[in-house]
Structure 1
Amino acid sequence: MAVEVIIPGMLTTVQDLGRYGYQQSGMTCSGVMDQQAYRKANYLVGNPETAAVLEFTVYGGSYRFTQDTVFALTGADMGAEIGEQPVETNRAVTAKQGDVLNLGMASRGCRTYLAVSGGFLVPLIMGSYATNIRCKMGGFHGRKLKRGDVLEIGQNSVSFSKIKNRKVSIPEYSGEVEVRVIPGPQEEMFTQKGLHTFYSGYYRVQEDSDRMGYRLDGSMIESKNGTDIVSDGITFGSIQVPASGKPIILMADHQTTGGYAKIGTVCRMDLSKVAQCKPGDRIHFKKIDVDKAQKLYKEMISKECF
């Protein structure tokens, strides 16, 4: 079984949860931008949560199934169709041999995930299937998909009858989101005025945002004596403030270390909100403490089926 790329979309890559254990050597984790949508997609088709999926960004493209296939779409709604018939998202569905899945522009949100029962068969490199485009490794030949690519699919491990009624929570994507933040680790480098600015206003996602980082436009965050630091570790969700005073949220393809002060870190349960923001969307930051963040994350996980 396989999926053939007819139109590859704007940025379509093979991803999983990421490549962990190598940041000390300068290798970033990569992986999906929206981990919640990724986990839901694999759950719906009966895959282990480590199975490789396709991540579509803004525009999906067209893909032909070479054999009967069970698949699921989660994340942003791209108006998926097969033969001009709408495809329901957030549930397992079937495709016949020769069917073409067409995905348009994301109406709300930014990223859509396609999981197929059996997962996409790509090489496991350093414990992950994730595509790292900058290093040209992982995924499908270390790059985004292009016309004519053919991705093999593994053997179905679960019958459709056992998964067809599975359900997941369906998020509502908005052009304006509240994102919870744990302060620091360099919060003390900013003035009280700067901190008030950061937490009271709205920041707009800029056009040059990508999988490495979301550059935000808005009021300048005032620092005490600049924001340069001795480079230290970066994580998914770190919020750097460079000399411009405009924050940058580091995302899945973030660098391993950075030399700008970090005013805070996006809580794990809200990273998916950020990942689904498109250029022009607005973000408001809300300060919470670690204990509250952990409690909210546990509550979120307990409500899911996986």
Structure 2
Amino acid sequence: MTAIANHAQQLAAAGWEIFPLRGKAPLFKTAHPQGDPLWGVCKGTCGRIGHGVLDATSDAETVRQWWRQNPTANIGGRVPKGVAVLDVDPRSGGADNMTALVREHGRLPSTLTVISGRGDGGRHFYLRCPDRPLSGAGLGSGLDLKTHAGYCVLPPSIHPDTGHPYRMQDGPRRPERMPDWLLTLLTPQAPPQRPPAKVVTIGAGPGIADRYSAEASWNDVLGAHGWRCAGGDGDSDGSRWLHPAATSSVSATVRHGLLFVYSPNTPLPVTESGNPVGLTRFRAYALLTHHGDMSAAAKTLLGRVAA
């Protein structure tokens, strides 16, 4: 039994929900490739493996079989409920931004911390927090937030670029309470209350919201805010998008013409297992450009039409 396989069993026995990785990506190919009737619909309830983080389990026999068949696979650990992980990526300015936050607000508590095998000082800080929506949009570049919808690479997995292991930092082996200042920073601000928007139409044609969603491209919506397409043509099913400060391989995907966001580090709502959130182009435009004010977004678009 390899050290990684042995550690995987120990983690499962301790209650961690884990699954095998190839490098930093899920080992198992998707259970529902494009064209499968369950593609983009199944949330891991079909009984097959290949659903990414939704495959994660603490079942001892399942974990034993996975690593018996794949003894050198890395370990992906789903972030536990009630825990958030602050991912610091020095390559993207995360160390400097973390230093600035600490200087302004104070240090993080000594908590469960994983050191990246990249060897550049990257770290994952595990912190207990209320089980409620959080957003890392205001953290700055190089600082990413991972919640129960995501996963982290766990020790002693091997970094695919350096061949060095991830390891636990000396100190606590359990997450400590998130400081109030960080919880406040991560709590999304509710948009201001405004009177209900009237239905806006152009002549006898469709509403401006429907017209915009039908005629605009996702690049029109996201490109102006620094997002970039990471796969596909940007609009067809399966296209992948990355937000400006992304440290993972995908921030959002397009399915059935809608945008499903996986990163909590944007102003857009996150889609999670059991709570899928698909955004139309108009709604995403309103959230990114007008803080979710649909009426203001419609007026702006009507002004463009009139011009």
Q: Going by fraction, where is helix more abundant, 1 or 2?
A: 2
* TM-score after normalising by structure 1: 0.28
* TM-score after normalising by structure 2: 0.28
Return the index of the structure with the highest Cα Rg: 2
Q: Going by fraction, where is strand more abundant, 1 or 2?
A: 1
